Structure 1
């Protein structure tokens, strides 16, 4: 059952609700649109999206504004100053999708530009492409008027320094020599050795969650979604995760609804979980049940992975599911709630628990 306990002392303007086991419904009220839903707990960014939607701007504007605010805060797993790669550089991934037109813009491994979600929108609006990456994406951003600047901070430099002093632990290498579990590179492949085991959930929690992803639906049912991140810390330079990939990081459809994902992107990208969730809703499943079914497909292959999905249908009914964490928090606001509300769903540790 939904807990009667409301924990509001941590965030004066935010209600934190303890939510019962996966599979139970939320009391969502009568007036469900417009609405915004986003992963994890970032009331400031969520409120910016909601305020944007309430000024009669588009759902697309709301998603861009909310994700941009999170990027501006920086210092964590989103935006500048966080999660350096193996060279000590912070790079960004982002995407934005318009459910009305099915247009998408995305950037991967974006270097030296702070506003990844806004660059992604420029890709959508000013090119016939979907995804630009690396230094060429930086060149595009500069041509669109964005400022090129260092994304590192004293904090991210210190993270990188300590990582190097700790023999580059942890890192993302497999089946190489010298042994990546005890040594820094450069590495070379081990001959005639294939299929090493890969970590499924390292370092993914509320402090290092890899992505903020967001869906907005306006009062007329127009929907948009997006995601932005600086990826996993100590990633191999050049790595692009799931966040900028349509169907993986986010997916929205004007006839059905939308879903976004967060967690171990290198695993989740292999299953297009946001697309799976939307198609589940198209077949008649509730948002929560559809998210659960998408996670089941992943857990069959990676039983210890960590990830979560939030979803809403086009009417504003919403839900969430998660795997591998203890609980998963997400933000939601609509006229019935009247303020950013943080809800928390219990997660499962293995597929049999769904």
Structure 2
């Protein structure tokens, strides 16, 4: 199979059936032929290689996830992972990250974290050294620094500031405001007590969105690395890192640090990772659903499609994707609104392979 393989629905089902047959036959497949295994959103090849190398060297699933996501943060994958990416309305970049241990079900997460560039390592510190699940904002930054991570530092970059300046020059469009009236195109925004939006929307170009749901999500302005790692023992962990949606309202936390939305793992079943419009997807916890569907016996391809279809029925214009992988190493992806790619490295592969899934 080529390193970049396009998966059509019929081909995907056929490949899964063949893979299932290869696992059947009355003999248990040795773990050494399945693990380590790394699956990640998007063609983040260096991140997958980093996680694979760590797992192959005997690192735990949790530590391998950290190595993989940290590599993506350092490389600023797609300009939306790590420092120096997606600016908010004020031109500032912030970090969301999560890590989950699929054996203990422990989770550590940070949201809207400022001044600290190591999102995934901060999330691990929350998991290891607190009884909490998530810390947010400046308090998350203070905690991470107190635990030894470098900071405070400016997370903006020349690229993110240039992106923000061009957005300001475009009257701060597009943005995530709705049903508000600014005194000028970039705010400040406010409500009018007597405003009749139905009549005013068509007359005032500065009313934001007028209650409509429009997606500003795209591959290079709203993206997440979501990674699952099976270590040599077959233990599973998942992790995510992102700096969120470009031009988000300051303080916004997406689905990146939400367990069950951006990622979920249970070593008895498998794992899931997600990317896309987190504001929509977190309302459905698609990765929790995927894992629970697989627990009930559903194949990864069907579990992934079912999770996406449930969101699509309520929000037909949403953009997003999930990958699913069970404890037997079967993997699949499903998406809506864009073409999705995910990366895999297994013992049978000489290098990372990228799978393409059409909506």
Scaled by the length of structure 2, the TM-score of the pair is: 0.88
Contact 2:58 2:232 survives alignment (8 Å): no
Q: Are 1:337 and 2:341 an aligned pair?
A: no
| 8 A Cα contact 2:72 2:81, kept in partner | yes
Q: Is 1:275 aligned to residue 295 of structure 2?
A: no
Superposed displacement of residue 282, structure 1 = 0.7
Structure 1's consecutive aligned runs of 4 or more residues displaced over 4 angstroms after TM superposition are: 27-30, 192-195
| Distance (whole Å) between structure 1 residues aligned to residue 174 and residue 36 of structure 2 | 43
Residue aligning to 1:110: 113
Give the C-alpha shift of residue 47 in structure 1: 0.3
- Residue 334 of structure 2 is matched in structure 1 by 321
Matches within 5 A, 1:126-145: 126-145=129-148
Specify the alignment match of 2:6 in structure 1.
18
| Aligned counterpart in structure 1 of residue 214 of structure 2, from 199, 204, 224 | 199
How much has 1:147 moved relative to structure 2? 1.3
Paired position in structure 1 for 2:323: 310
Structure 1 gaps of 5+ residues are 7-14, 348-354
The reply to whether residue 152 of structure 1 matches residue 156 of structure 2 is yes
Shift of 1:203: 3.4
Write the distance in 2 (CA, Å) between the matches of 1:278 and 1:248: 11
Question: Quick one: distance in 2 between partners of 1:57 and 1:193?
Answer: 60
Q: 1:171: Cα distance to partner?
A: 0.7
The TM-score normalised by the length of structure 1 is 0.89
Q: CA RMSD in A?
A: 1.8
| SS at structure 2 position matched to 1:155 | helix
Aligned to 1:171, what secondary structure does the other structure show?
A: coil
Matched pairs, number: 330
- Cα deviation for residue 219 of structure 1 reads 2.8
- Correspondent of 1:297 among 277, 290, 310: 310
In the TM superposition, residue 190 of structure 1 has moved relative to its aligned partner by 4.3
- Name the structure 2 match of 1:50: 52
Specify the alignment match of 2:191 in structure 1: 189
1:193, distance to aligned residue in structure 2 (A): 6.3
| Number of the residue aligned with 1:176 | 180
Residues 49, 193 of structure 1: alpha-carbon distance in 2 compared, 3 angstrom cutoff: farther
Q: Return the offset for 1:158.
A: 0.8
Aligned residues of 2:217 and 2:276 also touching (Cα < 8 A): no
Corresponding position of 2:221? 208
Equivalent residue for 1:95, pick from 93, 98, 112: 98
Q: 1:145-181: CA deviations, max 9, x gaps?
A: 11111111111111111111111111110000038xx
Unaligned runs of 5+ in 2: 24-32, 198-209
- Decide which of 138, 161, 168 is 1:164's aligned counterpart: 168
Cα drift, residue 338 of structure 1: 2.9
Deviation by residue 1:35-57 (Cα, 9 ceiling, x = unmatched): 00000111011100000001011
C-alpha contact 1:67 1:228 (8 A) present in aligned 2? yes
2-side partners of 1:218 and 1:139: how far apart?
32
Between the aligned partners of 1:251 and 1:136, the Cα distance in structure 2 is 25
**Equivalent residue, structure 2, for 1:235:** 248
